[in-house]
Amino acid sequence: MFLEVPIIYSMDFKQNHHSFLTAILMKSKTLLFILIAVSFADCQSQNIQINIDASVKYQTIDNFGASDAWWAQKVGGWFLPNKEKVADLLFSETKGIGLSAWRFNVGGGINTTTITDPWRTVATFEVGKDQYDWTRQANERWFLQAAKKRGVKQFIAFVNSPPGRMTKNGYTNCTDGLGTTNLKSGYEKEYAKYLTDILKHFQDSLGITFNYISPVNEPEWEWNAKSNQEGNRASNDDIKRIVKALYSELKSQGVPTEINLIESGALKHWYLYQNDISSKYGAQYGNYLYDIFVDTTISNKVAKILGGHSYGSDLISTQLTQEREQLKSRIDPFLNNGRKYWVTEYCILQGPDGEGGNRRDLSINTAINVARIIHYDLTTLSASAWQWWLAVSPYDYKDGLLYTDYHNAGDYQSIIPSKTLWAVGNFSKFIRPGSLRIQYQGADDKYGLMASSYLDEANNRLVIVLINAGTDKKDVQIKVSGLDSGKVITAFTPFVTSDDPGDNLTQYASFEKDSTYIVKPRSVVTLIGNLDGTILSSVKDQPMLPLQLNLFPNFPNPFNSSTIIAYYIPRKSFVTIKVYDVLGNEIANLVQEEKEMGKYQIRFNGFNLPSGVYFYRLVVSGANPLTADGFTQTKKMLLIR
């Protein structure tokens, strides 16, 4: 029996009080804008004018993405309806956030000796030198194919560690005493052949051609066993040897995949050495711009991409702008010479106030913090791609777009969307590959309103993203200039993510272009303007609307001893769940307490009950448990001895 976790969505469109006409179904091309407004202090509402000049163009956007490390090996084994829902939420442009790139982790082999977390060690295809078991990583491959099926066209294979057979300590993370890297001395060619064989298999047998292969990941960190996950350090000279061997092997086998470097773990390591590890191992780590990318024996063998991570750069008082400005001045010559900057990993590790990434947060708070990072990566660093770390997280940490409380086989296969998912979707769903970032003025306050704008010439639309993290609304007026002859915008259509449970990329009514648009408190908003003067209203453009209060089918059902009952509440409420027999007699009182917003599950034991039909009822009211009115839902379950 398949367990289906239904996610219920409201199809009611919200009405903005500035709306002036009813949207009509059009197949016309569109112009897309994204506005971001962030505020940490209350202030009086005032008109803020944002000036967009479409004639001033910056970087081309390549993609927005996320990775399958290492959750896909678990979630890919779920019942089909459940993993289809996960795939829809991540990849579908109509049912989810429409990611346009996918990062596939090539595992180094199951390691339970130095890695105790089973979610952070992954099988390897290799079973011996030049020998492979292509049935492995089946669950990860399912999501890879699911991404392709839903329209994703850009794929990156990345490696955290070589397979254990090729490492000095036999493990997929490092230990002391290994020297500069865990890859065995002289094994660069074997490592290169291993990677190329995998890429060629995917290309020839699965119809997936990886655009890029990333052979090292955050190579300036030690990755000793205490990290409790796959990882491998590599000095700059180690990286150069790997690149030369891999480039030669890719050419030899005719695999068109390009080498993507460097997955730098910190912004400053692009132009500064990582002195601690450099001193410890007597080799250079970091300073990648000037030690790797100016070396023509290497730079001509890798993709025209500078791939780095935005970890440790989010302190709002200092790092957020300062570190990006410092890096931008150094990467500009490389960007002007045809290279691109990609953000290839990020999640909250530090936070804007140094609060750290602990504790899962499904609310708009983390969503706004992430949107702010995206904004400055795109506008200050001119990033052409932006990729999140864990698409699905089982952890109590701010590292997921979706979350699950599933940990082991037999657990309830919960799917828990976060507001961060939808806030990333305010970018990924609407800023499609090939869009151009264009000039805006009037909103670049990291404590207030931020705006970025994009011209999607393929779809003939303009996009603006607003983030308002304050408790007051923001009144915005938008002026657009510099459009090509014949292009005109008559209205904008908003898509809103806010702390309101009903706002998850929710489409609101269109408003006239010269109107004042009110940005909700604590929200991320994407505005879309069609360049042919029509109003966006196609069903295909409607986003997946919010997860509503719901009582899910129990699992298993029928059951012979116990079963799991799950429910979701979108706001803090008093919850009661009781079980009744067919005569209406109360059998059990499972829950009777106040609950925070979230998805919950509870086990019902029927050991002492006879076979038969039973009913379980959810009653949700306000903070007062005596309130009679509220939400009530009842479902049937069958006990069979």
pLDDT in tens, 50-95: 999 999 999 999 999 999 999 999 999 999 999 999 999 999 999 9
Average the pLDDT over 299-318 and give the result.
97
Whole-number pLDDT of residue 550: 81
Q: Out of 3.40.35.10, 3.40.309.10, 3.20.20.80, 3.40.1190.10, which CATH number does the structure's domain 63-428 have?
A: 3.20.20.80
Question: With 80 as the cut, is the pLDDT of residue 333 above it?
Answer: yes
For residues 123 and 76, the answer to whether their CB atoms sit within 8 Å is no
Q: What is the mean pLDDT of the chain?
A: 89
Whole-number pLDDT of residue 568: 81
Task: Give the three-state DSSP class for 87.
Answer: helix
Question: With 50 as the cut, is the pLDDT of residue 23 above it?
Answer: no
Task: Give the three-state DSSP class for 214.
Answer: strand
Average the pLDDT over 286-312 and give the result.
97
Give φ, ψ of 453 to 5 degrees. -135, 150
Residue 537 — pLDDT band, cuts 50, 70, 90?
Answer: low
For residues 128 and 197, the answer to whether their CB atoms sit within 8 Å is no
Q: Out of 3.40.50.620, 3.40.50.150, 3.40.10.10, 2.60.40.1180, which CATH number does the structure's domain 31-57+436-541 have?
A: 2.60.40.1180
Whole-number pLDDT of residue 542: 42
Task: Give the three-state DSSP class for 324.
Answer: helix
Alpha-carbon distances of 121 from 106, 116, 230, rounded to whole Å: 11, 9, 6
Question: With 50 as the cut, is the pLDDT of residue 8 above it?
Answer: no
303-317, 419-433, 562-576: which has the minimum mean pLDDT?
Answer: 562-576
Residues carrying CATH 2.60.40.2550, the chain: 550-639
Whole-number pLDDT of residue 500: 86
Average the pLDDT over 460-478 and give the result.
93
Average the pLDDT over 434-460 and give the result.
94
Give φ, ψ of 134 to 5 degrees. -80, 0
Nearby residues of 82 by Cβ (< 8 Å), 6 or more positions away: 3, 4, 5, 413, 415
Whole-number pLDDT of residue 401: 98
| Cβ neighbour number for residue 336 with a 10 Å cutoff | 8
Whole-number pLDDT of residue 532: 93
Quick one: fold of 550-639?
Answer: Immunoglobulin-like (2.60.40)
Average the pLDDT over 157-171 and give the result.
98
217-231, 480-494, 557-571: which has the minimum mean pLDDT?
Answer: 557-571
Residue 483 one-letter amino acid: L
31-40, 120-129, 380-389, 445-454: which has the minimum mean pLDDT?
Answer: 31-40
> Which of the pair, 558 or 157, is modelled with greater confidence?
157
For residue 632, give the DSSP letter. Answer: E
- Distance, in Å, from the CA atom of 210 to the CA atom of 103, rounded to the nearest integer, reads 10
Whole-number pLDDT of residue 421: 98
Task: Give the three-state DSSP class for 109.
Answer: coil
Residue 314 is encoded by which pair of tokens?
């989010």
Question: With 70 as the cut, is the pLDDT of residue 415 above it?
Answer: yes
Residues carrying CATH 2.60.40.1180, the chain: 31-57+436-541
Residue 625 — pLDDT band, cuts 50, 70, 90?
Answer: very low
Residue 17 — pLDDT band, cuts 50, 70, 90?
Answer: very low
Residue 14 — pLDDT band, cuts 50, 70, 90?
Answer: very low
Residue 489 — pLDDT band, cuts 50, 70, 90?
Answer: very high
Average the pLDDT over 585-604 and give the result.
89
Whole-number pLDDT of residue 47: 85
Question: With 50 as the cut, is the pLDDT of residue 349 above it?
Answer: yes
Whole-number pLDDT of residue 548: 62
What percentage of the chain reaches a pLDDT higher than 90? 78
CA nearest neighbour of 381 among 527, 268, 525, 261? 268
Whole-number pLDDT of residue 630: 65
**DSSP for 378-421?**
HHTS-EEEEEEEEEEE-SSBS-EEEE----STTS----EE-HHH
Residue 33 — pLDDT band, cuts 50, 70, 90?
Answer: very low
| Cβ neighbour number for residue 47 with a 10 Å cutoff | 9
- Distance, in Å, from the CA atom of 603 to the CA atom of 238, rounded to the nearest integer, reads 53
H-run or E-run covering 138: helix 138-149
Question: With 90 as the cut, is the pLDDT of residue 110 above it?
Answer: yes
Nearby residues of 355 by Cβ (< 8 Å), 6 or more positions away: none
Whole-number pLDDT of residue 622: 65
Instruction: Decide: residue 111, CB within 10 A, 0-12 exposed, 13-18 middle, 19+ buried.
Output: buried
217-221, 392-396, 509-513: which has the minimum mean pLDDT?
Answer: 509-513
- Distance, in Å, from the CA atom of 454 to the CA atom of 384, rounded to the nearest integer, reads 12
CA nearest neighbour of 480 among 509, 441, 449? 441
Residue 632 — pLDDT band, cuts 50, 70, 90?
Answer: confident
For residues 1 and 430, the answer to whether their CB atoms sit within 8 Å is no
For residue 167, give the DSSP letter. Answer: B
Residues carrying CATH 3.20.20.80, the chain: 63-428
